[in-house]
């Protein structure tokens, strides 16, 4: 069977690291509250002028280097982002020119925190249908630019960064086995940005009903993960690694518990990265890959939920 195999992973995090204590003299919060309720200890924030495409290019170059694959052999670039440099052109075309490429095609996917899972599922479809042999799939976000710094319920949660994977078509058992994507626009008020080109003409700030979202997250993530595992003809007992969207350690632990997966099988980076939206899964994949956690043949499950609501899961054999 022709499948999309991950040949390399890469990441980029901005230099500036902000510890929880930084917020203590700005808003009514504490390091203890943030750690206990979210598992977050620190996050990276992009520098002034350090836009999403800059981080995406660095993560992409890192993934290409680690895969030993030249940029000019890539057929397509898909960037999952909700924080593009400009309304258009896409960040993906900026990555294309940043890598010195003029061939192939490039576009962005906007599914907020679920963006990487949606982009990976699209890339898998294009590889299996023969439209592309090699695809760069990137998640890159600058959520610090969307924060209301007076809203303690959101501004402590998010961070900036980018992660990337290089996918290649290959015959065999390795690669993406199954995907499951979902959206329900009736939940738009739970998590949204209150501005945009066709409404306010501003970029707006992130608004979230955190505790409502929390309940949807645990339920919907476990459901979509089970469906994806089912479609792959596997059971949760076959899963070697869960690489979840890194929003909140409590959501991750509750989801793992629902799936009867021990925390030893869960890749956790939320303590150091915060919630980087579409970048969180490729960042976590890159950290675990570099640490040598994944062995060839391991079953890796990723899942994410975000604004829309949109949510989904991908199961692959490493």
Q: What is the dihedral of CA 177, 303, 57, 22, to 10 degrees?
A: -160
Q: How far is the CB of 35 from ligand ACO (least distance, A)?
A: 11
**What character string, x for contact with ligand ACO (CB under 6 A) and - otherwise, covers 17-36?**
------------x---xx--
Which residue number, 77 or 140, has a Cβ lying nearer to ligand ACO?
140
The nearest distance, CB 17 to ligand ACO, in angstroms, is: 18
User: Which of residues 156, 252, 288, 316 is near ligand ACO by CB under 6 A?
Assistant: 156
Please give the angle made by the CA atoms of 210, 215 and 218, to the nearest 5 degrees: 115
Return the number of other C-beta atoms located less than 10 Å from residue 108's C-beta: 26
Identify the residue among 3, 54, 220, 245 touching ligand ACO (CB under 6 A): 245
The question of whether 273 is a catalytic residue gets the answer: no
**Catalytic site residue from 20, 44, 54, 113:** 113
Residue list 195-214, contact with ligand ACO (CB under 6 A)? 208, 210-211, 213-214
- Classified as helix, coil or strand, 45 is strand
Active site residue 155: no
Q: Which is nearer to ligand ACO, 294 or 311 (CB)?
A: 311
Give the shortest CB-248-to-ligand ACO separation in angstroms.
4
Q: Give the alpha-carbon dihedral of 78, 205, 274, 191, to 10 degrees.
A: -80
Question: How far is 80 from 60, CA to CA, in rounded Å?
Answer: 13
Identify the DSSP state of 266: B
Say whether residue 69 binds ligand ACO (CB under 6 A). no
Q: Which is nearest to 315 in space by CA: 166, 223, 220, 178?
A: 178
Rounded least distance, CB 21 to ligand ACO, Å:
12
CA distance 112 to 72: 29
Among 5, 191, 222, 278, contact with ligand ACO (rule: CB under 6 A): 191
- Percentages helix, strand, coil for the chain (3-state, rounded to 5) are 40, 30, 35
Asked whether position 38 contacts ligand ACO by CB under 6 A, the answer is: yes
The 292-311 site mask, x for binding ligand ACO (CB under 6 A), equals: -------------xx-----
The secondary structure element, H or E, covering residue 207 is strand 206-208
Site for ligand ACO in 102-131 (CB under 6 A): 113
Instruction: Give the interface segment with ligand ACO, choosing from 8-16, 193-201, 242-250, 292-300 (CB under 6 A).
Output: 242-250
Q: 208 by DSSP, 3-state: which?
A: strand
Task: Please tell me whether residue 276 adopts helix, strand or coil conformation.
Answer: coil
Look up 245 and say whether it is catalytic.
Answer: yes
CB closer to ligand ACO, 169 vs 251: 251
Q: What's the Cα-to-Cα distance from 84 to each of 11, 53, 137, 175, 309, rounded to whole Å?
A: 17, 7, 15, 29, 20
Residues lying near ligand ACO in the complex (CB under 6 A) are found at 29, 33-34, 37-38, 113, 152-153, 156-157, 191, 208, 210-211, 213-214, 217, 245, 247-248, 251, 275, 305-306
Which residues have a catalytic role annotated?
Answer: 113, 245, 275
């Amino acid at each position: 069977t022709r499948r999309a195999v991950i040949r390399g992973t890469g990441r980029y995090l901005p230099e500036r690291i902000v510890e929880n204590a930084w917020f203590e003299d700005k808003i009514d919060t504490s390091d203890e509250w943030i750690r206990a309720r979210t598992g977050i200890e620190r996050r990276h924030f992009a520098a002034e002028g350090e836009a999403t495409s800059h981080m995406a290019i660095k993560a992409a170059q890192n993934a290409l280097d680690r895969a030993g694959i030249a940029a000019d052999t890539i057929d397509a670039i898909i960037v999952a982002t909700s924080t593009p440099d400009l309304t258009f052109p896409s960040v993906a075309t900026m990555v294309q020119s940043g890598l010195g490429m003029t061939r192939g095609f490039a576009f962005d996917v906007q599914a907020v925190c679920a963006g990487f899972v949606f982009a990976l599922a699209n890339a898998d479809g294009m590889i299996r249908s023969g439209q592309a042999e090699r695809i760069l799939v990137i998640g890159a976000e600058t959520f610090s630019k969307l924060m209301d710094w007076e809203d303690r319920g959101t501004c402590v949660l998010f961070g900036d960064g980018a992660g990337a994977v290089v996918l290649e078509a290959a015959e065999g058992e390795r690669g993406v086995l199954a995907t499951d994507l979902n959206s329900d626009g009736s939940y738009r008020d739970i998590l949204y940005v209150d501005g945009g080109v066709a409404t306010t003409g501003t970029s707006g700030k992130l608004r979230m009903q955190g505790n409502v979202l929390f309940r949807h997250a645990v339920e919907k993530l476990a459901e979509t993960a089970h469906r994806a595992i089912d479609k792959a003809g596997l059971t949760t007992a076959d899963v070697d690694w869960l690489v979840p969207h890194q929003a909140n350690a409590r959501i991750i632990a509750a989801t793992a518990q629902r799936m009867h997966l021990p925390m030893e099988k869960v890749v956790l980076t939320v303590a150091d990265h915060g919630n980087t939206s579409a970048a969180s899964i490729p960042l976590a994949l890159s950290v675990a890959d570099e640490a040598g956690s994944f062995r060839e043949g391991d079953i890796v499950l990723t899942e994410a939920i975000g604004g829309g609501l949109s949510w989904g899961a991908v199961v692959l054999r490493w």
